[in-house]
Amino acid sequence: MNTLALADTQPTSTDESHLFSPLTIRDVILPNRIMVSPMCQYSAEDGLANDWHLVHLGSRAVGGAGLVMVEATAVEARGRIAPEDMGIWADKHIEPLARIARFIQQQGAVAGIQLAHAGRKASVARPWEGNGGLSEAEGGWPTEVVGPSPLPFSQTYHTPHELSRSEISAVVEAFATATRRARQAGFQVIEIHAGHGYLLNQFLSPASNRRTDEYGGDLAGRARLLLEILAAVEADWPTEWPIFVRISATDWLPPTEPGFTLDESVELARLLTTRRVDLLDVSSGGVSTGQQIKVEPGYQVPFAGRIRRETGLMTAAVGLIRKAQQADEIIRSGQADLVALARELLRDPYWPMHAAQTLGYDLKWPNQYLRAKS
């Protein structure tokens, strides 16, 4: 576990920490505090990364991000959201991913990968094709969709079958095997996806987990699968490299409905200190269609701040972070250790370069682009 000293959980001075200061986590040094948030591209065939993924992720590394995180990468074929999701369930996936990791590192950034399982949100069409559940004839796998309980995400999604204990063990092993492949591909940061309504979030939330065995009930039971996966991941991941976990800090459900809350997120973070977790990537929502989100700039940042302040775990903040000054203030004020950008980096792959100019920092540009710097 890599925690912060109590003093570091308070606002830091401008001389110590800002958006373009390096961050050391274990033996990995991020050149700055800008992280490319995992963003599904729905552009793979049989889980294989291709030229689109190389250019998409590589351009963000060229653009100056310190940590480039590969999209949610399925540890099982049935764990894909859509048929076009990237995968890491077979050895054939290693080299295409390694090609991406190598290029990212050649640009001076750190390459990370998010390992994921969609659970009950699997076997659906990609967003621009409707998002609804796919039949076998349409390329889906409706009979293989799984979850903690036989509750569908919505009327247009498949009803999952409840994972048995032996199937849960197989999921744990799938994450462990995927970890070994991620290591072989050359990634230096691994992130376990336990947010956005996917399988591990489904276990964590009482909105989707109605089990009465040891994987349900109180938070300790609902967190059991995540903790078992982390134990397996740790056994196959070098001790000098970081492990992140992405969570949804709240389900955004009314108090009258069962859901995962920020208070439980803080308790979960404390549970995770029993494992080798270095940073929580703090997002929210995704487990219920009944969520009521008030979206505004930086709306999720306070979640990252409270978890960091009360537990000492490093955090990444994400969610409508658009302006350079906004991102810099998040780091300077001690609300988070990283800012994770998604849509803003889709709009502008070179956002870090432009932010550095705005804030007065001399961010290194690729030699090929120097003629345009002044």
At 262 the three-state DSSP class reads helix
Contact 206, 215 (CB under 8 A): no
The answer to whether 223 and 277 have CB atoms below 8 angstroms apart is: no
Instruction: Give the other-Cβ count within 10 Å of 263's Cβ.
Output: 12
Structure tokens at 187: 């990634």
Q: What is the DSSP string of 96-135?
A: HHHHHHHHHHHTTPEEEEEEE--GGG-SB--GGGT-PBPP
Angle between helices 224-236 and 262-272 (to 10 degrees): 40
Sequence-ordered list of residues with C-beta below 8 angstroms from that of 69, at least 6 positions apart, any chain? 35, 36, 37, 38, 112, 113, 114, 189, 191, 340
Distance CA 247, CA 211 (A): 20
CA angle 158, 160, 165 (to 5 degrees): 165
Catalytic residue among 42, 198, 215, 369: 198
Q: Tokens standing for 133?
A: 């559940």
Residue 147's identity, in one-letter code, is: G
**Angle at the Cα of 280 (from 95 to 311), degrees rounded to 5?**
150
Nearest to 94 by CA among 1, 211, 187, 204: 187
299 flagged as catalytic: no
User: What's the CA dihedral at 198, 57, 97, 136 to 10 degrees?
Assistant: 40
Q: Which residues are tagged catalytic?
A: 198
